[in-house]
Amino acid sequence: METNITIYLVFCLLAVGILAGCIGLILFQYHRLRNQCSRMQDSFRNLEQLNFELRAARHDYLNHLQVVYGLMELEEYEELKQYLAPVYKSIMKTGKALKTSKPALNALLMAKMEEAEGKQVDVYVEVKSDLQKLSIEDWQLCKVLSNLIDNAITALQDKAGEKKMEIDISEDREVYLFQISNNGPAIPKDLQAAVFKRGFSTKKEAGHGMGLAIVADILRENAGSIEVNSDEEKTEFTVSFRKGDKE
């Protein structure tokens, strides 16, 4: 009788353990899917904003042409030059951010450029790859670059003088490369490896210390790598994905 009770209790404990494991797995998947949904919603909002800006730009260009024609008729060439400078910058900004085959990334770049420039940060974007065969999910790539760009903007917030951020997207025969740099304060060499640890931050305010750890986690999942180089002139984070991995 006691043996039967013992077997029954062991069976019940095993059943409870299996059930608890299943519940844990379901909760893990639920949180993972919810995070993915949140990232995709962010991408969708960025795409909506990009679409709005492109439609507004199309409308504005006709007005710009009318002004340009009027200034030429009046032979006000110096005024024409001053008028065209910001218009040309706006056109080049939009064009450079739309060179990849990934709409979500294009929208993210436009949104982050606008955010940075609203904080008096000059942004320079160079896209030399369409990323056609890059295998990482778009929402994950956007999460990586969003954190790196936010990190660069934060590094520049207290800087006096020129604030500059550069975003360079390229490829060679072996890898896709994403380089995000800024001219903010240097990260000491003895801390450069620690910046990817969860909870590490050079900022005292709450909410810092997670972004680069999230980046590192996503890169591990997708066979990517990241390096940091920092001196008094520039801090640069370089993300790379080998071609052929996960394809």
| 128 Cβ contact partners less than 8 Å away, ≥ 6 residues apart | 168, 169, 170, 171
What pLDDT is recorded for position 108? 87
Entry field: residues in the chain: 247
**Range 201-212 average pLDDT:** 56
Q: Is beta strand 224-230 parallel, antiparallel or unpaired with respect to 175-182?
A: unpaired
pTM above threshold 0.75: no
What pLDDT is recorded for position 134? 92
CATH of residue 222's domain is 3.30.565.10
Contact 42, 142 (CB under 8 A): yes
**pLDDT tier at 60, thresholds 50, 70, 90:** low
Complete edge-to-edge strand list for the sheet that includes strand 235-242: 122-127, 164-171, 175-182, 235-242, 224-230
Tokens 């990849």 identify what position? 100
Look at 150 and 20; give whichever has higher pLDDT: 150
What pLDDT is recorded for position 19? 78
What pLDDT is recorded for position 6? 72
Residue 247 belongs to some domain of the structure: no
Least Cα distance to 164 among 177, 180, 178 occurs for 180
Give Cα separations from 244 to 132, 175, 223, 247 (angstroms). 12, 9, 10, 5
What pLDDT is recorded for position 56? 61
Look at residue 161 and tell me whether its pLDDT is greater than 70. Answer: yes
Tokens 């620690």 identify what position? 194
| Number of compact structural domains in the chain | 1
Residue 65 belongs to some domain of the structure: yes
Domain range enclosing 150: 2-242
> Which range among 35-49, 75-89, 170-184, 226-240 shows the weakest confidence by mean pLDDT?
35-49
Residue 130 belongs to some domain of the structure: yes
Residue 64 belongs to some domain of the structure: yes
